[in-house]
Amino acid sequence: MLQHILIIEDDADIAESLHYNFKREGFRSTIAESGEKGLRIALDEKATPSLIILDLMLPGMSGMELCRRLRREQLTEKTPIIMLTAKAAETDKIAGLDSGADDYVVKPFSVKEVIARVRAVLRRAEKEGSPRYEDSSLVVDFDDMRVKCGDANVRLTRKEFALLEHLIKNLGRVATRQQLLDNVWGYSYFGDTRTLDVHIRRLRQKMGECSGRIETVVGVGYRFIGSN
């Protein structure tokens, strides 16, 4: 069965270009010209998309508002979302990621780049359900909370393991400081964000030669980049 891409974009030229190229690449796609229409399609159990391409500047319901709404719905809370926008400022990117987007593409863009990002996000989504991560030297068993780097067992606290698990399950995607605090410490946490940085530093120290897997994204947060 072909993977279904929902394109929520009010610019007809952009939407049709994406639709045509997705079809050429073996995907099935549907176009929604507004946030309201996109929401109806996304929540249709008979047509649930595998991934959503979401423009931020939409008539009526904005893309940011729609993204937050999709993340609150059980049917779409884990559906990958790639935002398209003309806003290139760092603050806009952080806002998009914080609202629940998996990736962010700035207009004007290359259709080939968008397709490559779609494939990458879909691959990542498939791996998230796996109970185990493994690359050339790092093995993480999520069920048993075991970590091994090369021949060495890595002993982590629960918070350190939760941080590593969240980063791995978002492989290649930037996790903002606020997202990590919300997911690992809980939505009720209002403490100093330096607590997070201290835990990341300790996590890296314990991971030894595998510490390079965790990349700092200055001014934003952290990203797990996998095997070097």
Q: Mean pLDDT throughout 201-213? A: 94
Domain hosting 96: range is 4-128
Distance CA 215, CA 175 (A): 10
pLDDT for position 183: 79
Mark whether 113 and 70 lie in a shared domain: yes
Domain boundary among 128, 151, 182: 128
Of 155-159, 178-182, 218-222, give the lowest mean pLDDT range: 178-182
pLDDT for position 65: 92
Q: Mean pLDDT throughout 19-43? A: 94
Mark whether 142 and 209 lie in a shared domain: yes
Q: Mean pLDDT throughout 86-113? A: 81
Number of domains in the chain: 2
Of 89-98, 102-111, 193-202, give the lowest mean pLDDT range: 89-98
Contact in structure between 31 and 55 (CB atoms under 8 Å): no
pLDDT for position 201: 94
Mark whether 110 and 147 lie in a shared domain: no
pLDDT for position 213: 92
pLDDT for position 192: 65
Mark whether 18 and 124 lie in a shared domain: yes
Mark whether 98 and 182 lie in a shared domain: no
Of 71-75, 120-124, 185-189, 194-198, give the lowest mean pLDDT range: 185-189
Burial class (CB in 10 A: 0-12, 13-18, 19+), 218: exposed
Average pLDDT, the chain: 87
Q: Mean pLDDT throughout 35-46? A: 92
Tokens for 118, please give them. Answer: 């779609």
pLDDT for position 26: 92
Q: Mean pLDDT throughout 114-130? A: 78
Burial class (CB in 10 A: 0-12, 13-18, 19+), 105: middle
